[in-house]
């Protein structure tokens, strides 16, 4: 995709911006990753990571960034025996995961709407 976009747009002053806009627009429909508690899902094929082609996958970043990452760190530490298990039922963990997914989706939607707004302003002022 990147090669095709580069060949199509050339090297004028706006080509880089046009490529970025189209790359963004192409990646928008991709399915977002969702947080879930493995204990509430019976189908282990849902743990599969499509792009990496691995059967079991978990992802987290620095726990200073998001609450969901703190939970993943705590659960991983407990599963490795580095800390005591969390005193949460799996349904409560799933409820937290659902809330984190809702907030992430809302944030993404606001980001998309903001980008759409500024792109339309850019198009309006640049003939």
Buried b (16+ CB within 10 A) or exposed e, 21-36: eeeeeeeeeeeeeebb
pLDDT at 52: 82
Q: CB of 73 within 8 A of CB of 64?
A: no
pLDDT tens per residue, range 83-124 = 998 888 999 999 999 999 999 899 889 998 998 898 889 888
The rounded distance, in Å, linking the Cα atoms of 99 and 61 is: 18
Find the length of the chain.
Answer: 127
Q: Are 101 and 93 in contact (CB under 8 A)?
A: no
Angle, CA of 31, 46 and 109, to the nearest 5° = 25
25-76 pLDDT, tens per residue? 776 666 677 888 888 888 888 888 877 888 888 877 776 778 888 888 888 8
């Amino acid at each position: 995709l990147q090669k095709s976009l580069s060949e199509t747009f050339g090297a004028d002053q706006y080509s880089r911006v046009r490529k970025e806009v189209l790359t963004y627009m192409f990646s928008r429909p991709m399915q977002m990753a969702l947080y879930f508690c493995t204990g509430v899902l019976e189908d282990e094929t849902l743990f599969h990571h499509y792009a990496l082609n691995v059967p079991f996958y978990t992802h987290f970043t620095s726990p200073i960034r998001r609450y969901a990452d703190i939970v993943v760190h705590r659960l991983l530490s407990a599963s490795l025996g580095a800390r005591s298990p969390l005193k949460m039922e799996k349904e409560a963990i799933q409820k937290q995961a659902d809330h984190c997914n809702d907030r992430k989706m809302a944030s993404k939607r606001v980001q998309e709407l903001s980008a759409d707004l500024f792109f339309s302003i850019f198009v309006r002022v640049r003939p």
